[in-house]
Each structure stands twice: as C-alpha cells, then as structure tokens.
C-alpha cells in the first residue's frame, strides 16, 4: 500500500483554499465516499454553511456548539443514517459518525481552538490525521499561516506541501507599512499615530471603509488609583477585573465576581483617586468617532455581542453602513468586505508578551490574517501596523507577507530551547484548594523530576523548569502551580511525566499533564 501522507495546503488569504476543498469533496462524493470538514469555531459562520449548502445541498450536516442539543443530535443522526455525507463543524466534529470516510479537511489548521484544553485533552488536527490514516482517507490541512509543527512536517517530507501563492484575480497583496510608535507618539485614548490618522482621513475622503484592530488581551480597560497605583484584581482568580462603563462596575471574566468601583482607594485610602483608564474597543471607538465626527463608527468584540448580533454588525459593514469598524480578533476571520481598503493594527506588541512560547507565532498569524482583510475588493488594500518593536520577526515577516521568513526565524528561536517542533513541552499542572499543599506538592514533584534526570541516562536530555505559580494562580477557588518538562526526546519526556504523575501527593491536590499546551495560563 502507498504510504499515508497528509497534504498541507499553504495558501495566501484569498487564494481560493475553500474552492480546493469543495472540489476535493465533490470528487470524494462522486467516488461514493464521505467527507469531514473541520473549521475553527469562529469561522463557522452562516456564510460558510451557505457556501457548502449551495454546492452540496442537504447532504451537508453542520455541527456547531451554538446549536441546541436537539438540532445537533438531528444532524448527528442524519450523518449516522447516511442521509448526510458531509460533516462541517468545529473541533468536536472530528468524531462525527461518517462511514466510508474519503477525505478529512482541517481548515486553518494552525488555529488554537482545535486543541481541547479542558477535560479530555486532544488536538482535533492530530485526531483528524490519525482518523484519516485509519480510514484510508485523504487528509488536507489548510492554512495561510501553517503551524510551525505542520510546516516542519512538510519540510521533512512527512506532509506533502501544496502552495497557492497567487490570488485568482491576480490582485496584489495589500501594501503594509510598519509604524514605529516610539517615533510617532500615539494619541493616548485612541492609539492613533499621525500616519494612521492621515490614512483614515484619506480612506474616508475616498468613500472607503477602515478596520481598526485591537488585540483585546493587552488592552482591557482597567481601573487604578492614580495616587498609589493600586489595581483591582479578582480575589478568587488573581486576574485583573474588567471595567464595564455602562454599569460602572468591575467584573471577573473567569468566575463572574463583580463589584462597584469604590470612591476611595482601598489601599492608600486617598479620596477620589480612582481613575478609569485604558483602551478597550469601546474607548477607541469613542475617540475615533471624536476624531472623525462625520464618520459612522461601529465596534465589534465579545462584549458587544455573540452570534446573531455579530452578524448584524458585520452585515452593516458589508452594506457599507459603517465607515470605521473597531474590533478585536473577531474582525480577522471569515468575512470579505470589498469596501475595506485600510486596516490599522493599533498595537502589534500586546500579543508578543503573553507567557506562552507560541506568542510570537500567534502574533504573526494574527497580523497576517488582519493584513489579509484589506484589498479583497477591486482595489489594492493598505495595512498599517503600529508597534513599539518594529524589528520583531513576527511583525517584519507579516508585513512582507513572507511566511517562510517567519518560519525560518521562529524555528531557529524555538530550537534554542527545544520547543516544538524541535522538541516537546509537557506542562505538569498541579492544583488544589489549599495553597500550601499545592506549593508543597509542586516543589516535591519538581525535585523528584530533577533527581530522576540527574540519575538516569535514558532521560538525561529532559529539562525541568519550575515549579512556578501559574500566571492565573487562583482560578475558581483553586491554587495552580506548574512544572514544565522540555526536551527533544518525547519518550524521555513521557517517562519523567509518568513518574511525576504516579507520585503520591496530598489527596486534595490534582496533578495533570498537558502535552504541547496551547496556553500557559
Ligand atoms: Zn491608592
Ligand atoms: Zn474570578
């Protein structure tokens, strides 16, 4: 039998990856077999479903976490009976009941949402590859910005790489300028530098639309004491509380804890010293509206809405009823707006500092996605990326639309510490209600792991990092610590991990393993 080789379809945004999927699926159906298509949750839009239904009619079953259980069960049984022969869905659809599977497509295979991090941990992309292998099916992984792991597989010949380097209309990729925020001091409220302000003005004057992109995680609105700097954190989760202007309250995104903003500082007791500060999309949208009073400004983020309301905002943009859209990650995926000729990234740096070895890759992917937003209409788009670190490879390569340049730089950086794809990383997560017991267990286990690595030659390549409190040290009433095991040999890593997990600790303490975690939080 022929060796099983997944395909990696590497295509620039707008190069027609979806059309390739549709053709492969059509051929598969013609041969009497079935098809499974996985997409990130955020891309599973009504437009995407409509596109599949337009081509394949009611042979398509859509599996979506936003569906009622009954609808989902209905779709599941249509597949089971063979009434539907194409399953399109997010992560968990990888287990859809399809007989005679002929092809599995994983679109945007780099997307972090394919990894199930809670409960039973699995990576839907890896499950998809295994399932295709067992079923004798074709496996197609598609992305404009492949994960380093998948691209490395294609470099090593484990995957066969197909490149879609041109947009079918021969329209060039948008022109990207990097704006150095150290030179062009941005307006504090809106993060508008002079060049971006000028570009927005020109776009408005031309009757075109702009998207301003904000990486929410780095820019949540915060409330602080201007006398002593005290900031408000959740007493249960040790995360910063998010400020809600309409209710003038602070709340925790994890556990829902909520409190009023006090008049006086709880720490230094200074009266009237609490300032509401920072840059959410709300703040930026207000400042942008003030700077461009004739423009119609809308914003889009998780606070505005979910599901249907998102579609309302996006369809207004599609009908050109919005001149400037201010938004978070949501604006980067799954929608084509011909009228958008300018995309401004307000601050590219925010993602780079997340405590995660994939921070740089995520930032590159995000910037590349955002850059792909502009210029899908009949004119070439323009992208301005504002950053305090214009020399960062993720920024430079995204601006140059050069995936390979990023891959080479990032792969070299990862090699230094044997991070994937050069090695593996296992997070040992230790948590429990009692902070002393958790810390004690973490120190005990890390010590044992270090002893094992010192004493046994078969695991000598393993590095033990930590123990450290997790970035979210308290979450839902539990204290969380981490030990990281890192090294080029996954068998050696597993041996150490198994020893750690098999060691007896206080009964209230949980010890879990996460291989190549998507998040360090
Ligand atoms: Zn204070
Ligand atoms: Zn909380």
Convert the pLDDT of each residue in 265-307 to its tens digit: 998 899 988 877 556 778 888 889 999 999 999 988 766 656 6
Distance (angstroms) between ligand 1 centre and the Cα of 211 equals 37
- Are both 343 and 472 inside the same structural domain? no
- Expressed in angstroms and rounded, the spacing between residue 242 Cα and the centre of ligand 1 is 18
| Structural domain includes residue 1 | no
Structure token digits, residue 38: 């996985």
- Would you say residue 169 lies in a domain? no
Tens digits of per-residue pLDDT, 209-233? 999 988 755 445 567 777 766 778 7
Residue 338: which residues within 8 A CB-CB, separation 6 or more? 376, 377, 378
**Distance in Å, CA 277 to ligand 1 centroid:** 14
pLDDT per residue as tens digits for the range 457-514: 999 889 888 888 776 778 889 999 988 888 888 899 999 999 999 999 999 999 999 8
Tally: H helices and E strands in the chain: 14, 24
CB atoms within 10 A of CB 347: 19
C-alpha 264 – ligand 1 centre gap (Å): 8
Q: For residue range 76-127, list pLDDT tens digits in order.
A: 999 999 999 999 999 999 999 999 999 999 999 999 889 887 777 889 999 9
Copy the structure tokens of residue 495: 């041996």
Distance 263 CA to ligand 1 centre (A): 11
Contact 514, 470 (CB under 8 A): no
| pLDDT recorded at residue 218 | 42
Q: Are residues 104 and 244 in the same domain?
A: no
Nearest ligand to the C-alpha atom of residue 224:
1
Closest ligand to the CA of 251: 2
In this structure, which ligand is nearest to the CA of 253?
2
> Within 159-215, where are the H helices?
194-205
What's 441's domain CATH number?
A: 3.30.70.600
Ligand 2: distance of its center to the CA of 258 in Å?
Answer: 8
Give the integer Cα–Cα distance in Å for 48 and 217: 27
Which pair of structure tokens corresponds to residue 164? 């879609």
329, 334, 336, 342: CA torsion to nearest 10: 20
Cβ atoms within 10 Å, residue 343: 28
**Residue 341: burial class (beta carbons within 10 Å; 0-12, 13-18, 19+):** buried
**98 and 43: one domain?**
yes
Q: Which helix (H) or strand (E) holds 38?
A: strand 34-38
520 falls within a domain: no
d(CA 333, CA 351): 17
pLDDT at 519: 63
Give dist(CA 147, CA 307) in Å, integer: 27
Is the domain of 207 the same as that of 235? no
Average pLDDT, the chain: 86
Query: Are residues 125 and 136 located together in one domain of the fold?
Result: yes
Q: How far does the centroid of ligand 2 lie from the alpha carbon of residue 445, in Å?
A: 28
Give distance in angstroms: CA of 231 to centre of ligand 2: 15
Does residue 376 have a pLDDT over 60? no
Q: Which domain covers residue 472, as residue numbers?
A: 424-515
What is the C-alpha to C-alpha distance for residues 115 and 113, in angstroms, rounded to an integer?
A: 5
Look up the CATH number of the domain holding residue 39: 3.40.50.300
- Same domain for 227 and 99: no
Task: State the distance from the centre of ligand 1 to the C-alpha of 222, rounded, in angstroms.
Answer: 14
The β-bridge relationship of strands 242-244 and 249-251 is antiparallel
Total domain count for the chain? 4
272 CA → ligand 1 middle, Å? 9
256 and 230 within one domain: yes
**Percentage, residues of the chain above pLDDT 90:** 49
Q: Indicate whether 245 pLDDT > 80.
A: no
Q: What does the radius of gyration of the chain's CA atoms come to, in whole angstroms?
A: 24
Which residues partner with 233 through β-bridges? Answer: 240
In a domain, 303, yes or no: yes
Is it the case that residue 334 has pLDDT exceeding 90? no
- Ligand positioned closest to the Cα atom of 257: 2
Residues 15 and 118 in one domain: yes
Residue 2 within any structural domain of the chain:
no
Query: How far apart, in whole angstroms, are the C-alpha atoms of residue 144 and residue 170?
Result: 17
Indicate the residue among 415, 445, 477 that finishes a domain: 415
Tell me, what's the pLDDT at 234? 75
pLDDT tier for residue 360 given thresholds of 50, 70 and 90: confident
Residue 476 CA: which ligand is closest?
2
Torsion, CA 26, CA 30, CA 34, CA 38, rounded to 10: -10
Ligand approaching nearest to the C-alpha of 263: 1
Query: Which one of 123, 139, 164 terminates a domain?
Result: 164
How many angstroms is it from 232 CA to the middle of ligand 1? 11
Q: Which ligand is nearest to the CA of 272?
A: 1
Euclidean distance between CA atoms 280 and 220, whole angstroms: 5
Question: Any idea which residue has 């709340």 for tokens?
Answer: 251
What's the rounded mean pLDDT across residues 163-189?
Answer: 78
Q: Answer yes or no: do 226 and 271 share one domain.
A: yes
Task: Lowest mean pLDDT of 78-92, 174-188, 437-451, name the range.
Answer: 174-188
40 and 64: one domain? yes
Q: What are phi and psi of 466, to 5 degrees?
A: 95, -165
**What separation in Å is there between the alpha carbon of 234 and the centre of ligand 1?**
17
Residues with Cβ within 8 Å of residue 337, at least 6 apart in sequence:
209, 211, 317, 318, 373, 376, 377
Same domain assignment for residues 147 and 124: yes
- The bound ligand whose nearest atom lies closest to the alpha carbon of 258 is 2
The span from the CA of 479 to the CA of 394, in Å, is 34
Residue 219: the pLDDT is 44
Across residues 127-133, what is the average pLDDT?
95
Dist. CA 467–CA 451, nearest whole Å: 14
- Is there a domain that residue 90 lies in? yes
**For residue 356, what pLDDT band results from cuts at 50, 70 and 90?**
low
The answer to whether position 236 is within a domain reads: yes
Q: Helix %, strand %, coil % for the chain, to 5? A: 35, 25, 40
* Distance in Å, CA 356 to ligand 2 centroid: 21
| Domain boundary, last residue among 275, 290, 320 | 275
Would residue 124 count as lying in a domain?
Answer: yes
Q: Which residues contact 203 (CB under 8 A, 6 or more apart)?
A: 209, 210, 341, 342, 382
Ligand nearest to the CA of 473: 2
Q: Do 79 and 208 fall within a single domain?
A: no
Strand bridging mode 101-107 / 138-143: parallel
- Closest by CA to 244, choosing from 214, 213, 282, 216, is 282
d(CA 63, CA 66): 9
Structure letter (DSSP) for residue 241: P
**Cα–Cα distance, 202 to 195 (Å, whole number):** 11
Q: How far is the CA of 232 from the centre of ligand 2 (A)?
A: 11
């Amino acid at each position: 039998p022929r060796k099983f080789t997944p395909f990696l379809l590497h295509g620039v945004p707008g190069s027609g990856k979806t059309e390739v999927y549709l053709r492969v699926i059509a051929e598969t159906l013609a041969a009497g077999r079935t098809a499974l298509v996985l997409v990130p949750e955020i891309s599973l839009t009504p437009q995407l479903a409509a596109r599949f239904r337009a081509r394949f009619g009611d042979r398509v079953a859509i599996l979506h976490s936003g569906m009622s259980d009954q609808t989902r069960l209905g779709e599941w049984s249509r597949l089971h009976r063979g009434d539907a022969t194409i399953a399109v869905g997010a992560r968990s659809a990888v287990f859809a009941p399809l007989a005679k599977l002929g092809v599995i497509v994983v679109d945007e295979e780099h997307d972090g949402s394919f990894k199930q991090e809670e409960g039973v941990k699995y990576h839907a992309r890896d499950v998809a590859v295994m399932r295709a292998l067992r079923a004798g099916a074709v496996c197609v992984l598609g992305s404009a910005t492949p994960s380093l792991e998948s691209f490395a597989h294609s470099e090593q010949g484990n995957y066969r790489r197909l490149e879609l380097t041109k947009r079918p209309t021969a329209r060039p990729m948008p022109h990207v300028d990097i704006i150095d925020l150290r030179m062009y001091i941005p307006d504090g409220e809106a993060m508008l530098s002079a060049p971006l302000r000028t570009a927005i003005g020109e776009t408005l004057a031309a009757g075109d639309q702009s998207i301003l992109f904000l990486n929410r995680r780095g820019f949540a609105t915060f409330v602080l004491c201007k006398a002593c700097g005290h900031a408000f954190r959740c007493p249960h989760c040790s995360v910063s509380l998010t400020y809600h202007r309409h209710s003038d309250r602070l709340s925790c995104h994890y556990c829902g804890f909520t409190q009023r903003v006090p008049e006086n500082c709880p720490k230094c007791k200074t009266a009237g010293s609490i300032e509401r500060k920072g840059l959410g999309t709300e703040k930026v949208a207000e400042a942008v509206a003030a700077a461009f009073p004739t423009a119609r400004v809308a914003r889009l983020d998780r606070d505005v809405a979910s599901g249907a309301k998102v579609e309302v905002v996006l369809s207004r943009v599609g009908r050109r009823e919005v001149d400037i859209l201010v938004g978070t990650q949501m604006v980067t995926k799954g929608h084509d707006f011909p009228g958008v000729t300018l995309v401004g990234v307000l601050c590219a740096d925010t993602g780079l500092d997340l405590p995660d070895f994939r921070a740089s890759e995520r930032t590159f992917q995000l910037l590349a996605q955002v850059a792909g937003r502009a210029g899908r209409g009949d004119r070439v788009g323009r992208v301005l990326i504002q950053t305090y670190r214009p020399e960062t490879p993720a920024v430079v390569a995204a601006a140059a639309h050069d995936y390979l340049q990023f891959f080479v730089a990032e792969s070299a950086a990862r090699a230094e510490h044997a991070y994937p794809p050069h090695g593996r990383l296992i997070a040992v997560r230790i948590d429990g209600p009692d902070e002393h017991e958790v810390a004690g267990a973490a120190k005990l286990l890390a010590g044992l792991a270090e002893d094992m690595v010192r004493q046994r030659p078969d695991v000598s390549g393993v590095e033990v990092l930590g123990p450290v409190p997790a970035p979210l040290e308290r979450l839902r009433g539990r204290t969380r610590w981490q030990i990281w095991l890192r090294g080029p040999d996954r068998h050696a890593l597993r041996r150490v991990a198994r020893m750690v997990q098999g060691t007896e600790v206080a009964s209230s303490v949980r010890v879990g393993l996460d291989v190549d975690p998507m998040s360090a939080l």
